[in-house]
Amino acid sequence: DDIALIHRIMQAFGQSSKPLWITEWGWSSAEVGEQRQAMYLKKSLEMLRTRFGYVSLAVYFLDWDRPPQYLFGLYTSSFISKPAAFVYAEQAKALGQER
């Protein structure tokens, strides 16, 4: 909802041609669990593709975990893939095939 709101504000002020970036979004696997983190990531990437096509750049937070407080990564601190890493790769491949 915040993305759509920002876009509406940009439109109202004649700024809709400017790029809209989404930065540092994600979920801590310590808080929601690895499976739910992956599910949320998949849903958010699908929403960016289908509902928010005007977003020109989206940067996920983080690539790998930085314990103890930053456990948002697609990979563990030992660089082992979490389920979210597979979702991200799958979604990136699908996006590349669409273009």
pLDDT tens for 29-38 read: 999 999 999 9
Note the pLDDT tens digit of each residue in 42-97: 999 999 989 999 999 999 999 999 999 999 999 999 999 999 999 999 988 887 77
Find residue 96's DSSP bridge partners: none
74 φ/ψ angles, rounded to the nearest 5 degrees: -80, -20
pTM value is 0.88
Exposed/middle/buried for 23, CB within 10 Å: 0-12, 13-18, 19+?
exposed
Copy the structure tokens of residue 48.
């960016």
Distance CA 86, CA 14 (A): 39
Distance CA(49)–CA(55), nearest Å, equals 9
